[in-house]
Amino acid sequence: MTISASAKTSKTKTYFSDLRKNIWKHKEKYILILPGVIWFIIFSYIPMYGLTLAFRQFRANLGIFWSPWIGLQNFENVFRDPAFLQSIWLTLWINLGRLIFVFPVAIILALLFNELRMGRFKKILQSIFTFPFFLSWVVVGSIMIDVLGRGGLVNSVLGLLGFDSISFLGTPALFQPMVYLTSIWQGSGWGAIIYLAAIAGIDTEQYEAAEIDGASRLQRLWHITLPGIKGTVLVLFILAVGNLMTGGFEQIFNLSNPATLRASEILDMYIWRVTFMAPADFGFSSAISLFRSLINFTLLIIAHHVSKRISGSGLLA
């Protein structure tokens, strides 16, 4: 059965008429979200045209629009560089460590906060653990130098006790543990707030019924609290998997130094080096950034489908 052109036109007109009426009916809501939509269009969608540099030989006198197309040549040059392949491996290795050692800490911290019954003490602890999140990585890096540097607090104490000083910030083998420890210190308190908000949404009658049935606090935590925040954990985990190729440039940049170069040149640091520490080749660096974004998007979709298959819920449902 075919639909005539006039019927299709009538259906389209009806659709747009209903859409206009709906927008006018809820105009306050649309006005409220309009600044955010404009911001995303200007700063997120329009700049996407710059990704065409990955397929161009950029020339400053011609600009982005008129630089000549060279196809996949930039990608061929990228994959010929051994340092690029090494940076991919290092990025994945560091971020897998984040998933194992850093990601669960915020969940554990939220569960511990939730079990505290002293309200004022609980608020003080939350403020203490959340405060580092508002410090920039420049400040955190300076704190690490003051505490763990050659002339820092820890080495001064070791010297007073008669021990040799330890180069915490100059030893490649200690760089990754330093990344994980600073990530936990800086971000776990803020991450715990998200899980505490999810815990607050759990029906308190479940806890009351479990307590009447004689369930211990550990049993209530395991059988009520954790299942209650499973959806939040899955969403944040999927997003973390989707950022496996993004290593946290600010943190690595401020914690690294020439002595730890081999242990710290993740993909973000590699992009920075080839863009600003060598003759500028914006087509080359754009090709790397586009490749990284595609890999992150692929990992995000894979994590979503794996989560849907295993637990029945994913990023969108």
* CA pair distance 154, 174, nearest whole angstrom: 15
- Chain region(s) in the chain for CATH 1.10.3720.10: 75-311
The percentage of the chain sitting over the pLDDT mark of 90, rounded to a whole number, equals 18
- pLDDT per residue of the chain (317 residues) written in tens, 0 to 9: 445 666 667 777 777 777 888 888 888 888 999 999 999 999 888 888 888 888 988 887 888 888 889 988 989 988 888 888 899 999 999 999 999 999 999 999 999 888 887 778 888 888 889 999 998 999 998 888 888 888 888 888 888 888 888 888 888 888 999 999 999 999 999 999 999 999 888 888 888 888 888 888 888 888 888 888 888 888 888 888 888 888 788 899 988 888 888 888 888 888 888 888 777 778 888 888 888 888 888 888 888 788 777 777 666 65
User: What is the model's pLDDT at position 151?
Assistant: 81
Let me know: does 302 contact 242? Beta carbons within 8 Å: no
CA 166 to each of CA 119, 152, 299: distance values in angstroms, whole numbers, following the listed order: 41, 10, 39
- The pTM for the full model equals 0.79
* CA pair distance 156, 135, nearest whole angstrom: 25
Which residues, in sequence order, are CB contacts of 57 under 8 Å at separation 6+?
67, 68, 70, 73, 283
Residues 264-273: pLDDT tens digits? 888 888 888 8
Query: In terms of CATH architecture, what is 75-311?
Result: Orthogonal Bundle (1.10)
Q: Compute the chain's Rg from CA coordinates.
A: 26
Closest C-alpha to 220, from 201, 202, 194, 197: 202
* Residue 56, strand partner residues: 69
Half-sphere exposure of 33 (CA within 13 A, CB side): 6
